[in-house]
Amino acid sequence: MNLADKCFRAFLFDLDGTIVDTIDLIRESFRHASREVLGRQLPDEILMANVGQPLMTQMEQLGAEKAKQLYETYRRFNHSHHDELIRPYPGVGDLLGALSQRGARLAVVTSKSRDTVNMAFRSIPVEDYFDTVVSADDTDFHKPHPQPLMLAMRRLAAAPGETIYIGDSPFDIKAGQAAGVRTAAVGWGIFPPQRLKELEPDFYFEKPDEILKLCP
Ligand SMILES: [Mg+2]
């Protein structure tokens, strides 16, 4: 699809690895929980394989019978190291400002719980750019299920045909495809390009400002 042919009215964004750089924070939290609860540090590829889904779901996949302990140990570490390890992505604030200036409606659709979304926005103050935020607390089903995206579109009064979902994980692309919106994978997040491209997102972006070419 030609980039300039496509101007979207609603831009939905994933949060971790897309809007805020929480890669080190997530990795260190997983390593800590793995060491403390499982007595060994699993390889990062295994620890990070399901980032983008709700935390408890990820912990169940790591060690079902110790999921609750993993979850609590991860959260404790994550909260106490949050502000020192979270970082902004260069260019993302400018992108959000430019899109909202052009009249686009913006939303965050994340599998994070609302309390950790609030922590992220306290450190990286971009919340005002967004018309709405859908967190894991808002829906019964989560990415790759389309329900969170449907809720965001309802809140923005946007139809699937005028909406794009932008994220860094395979679950984002699958959720977008299930919701009938256009999808874009970003290359600055947690997942390697190959895992994203094999899902055939409509677009793949290496840098935030490339997204502005969708709506010149
Ligand atoms: Mg993400």
pLDDT digits (tens, 9 = 90+) for 176-192: 999 999 999 999 999 99
Residue-level pLDDT at 7: 82
Phi and psi based region of residue 207 (left: phi greater than 0; alpha: psi -120 to 50; beta: remaining):
beta
- Angstrom distances, CA of residue 187 to CA of 1, 27, 43, 75: 19, 18, 22, 26
Contact 77, 32 (CB under 8 A): yes
Question: Which 8-state DSSP code applies to residue 102?
Answer: T
- Expressed in angstroms and rounded, the spacing between residue 15 Cα and the centre of ligand 1 is 6
Q: Is 14 a catalytic residue?
A: yes
Q: What's the mean pLDDT when you consider all of the chain?
A: 95
Q: Which of 5, 14, 24, 202 is catalytic?
A: 14
Residue-level pLDDT at 79: 96
Percent of the chain with pLDDT over 90: 93
Residue among 71, 96, 70 at smallest CA distance from 12: 96
- Expressed in angstroms and rounded, the spacing between residue 1 Cα and the centre of ligand 1 is 24
- Expressed in angstroms and rounded, the spacing between residue 60 Cα and the centre of ligand 1 is 19
Q: What would the pLDDT profile of 43-92 be if each residue is shown by its tens digit? A: 999 999 999 899 999 999 998 899 999 999 999 999 999 999 999 999 99
Residue 25 pLDDT level (bands cut at 50, 70, 90): very high
- Expressed in angstroms and rounded, the spacing between residue 189 Cα and the centre of ligand 1 is 7
Residue-level pLDDT at 4: 45
Q: What would the pLDDT profile of 148-162 be if each residue is shown by its tens digit? A: 999 999 999 999 999
Average pLDDT, stretch 167-176? 97
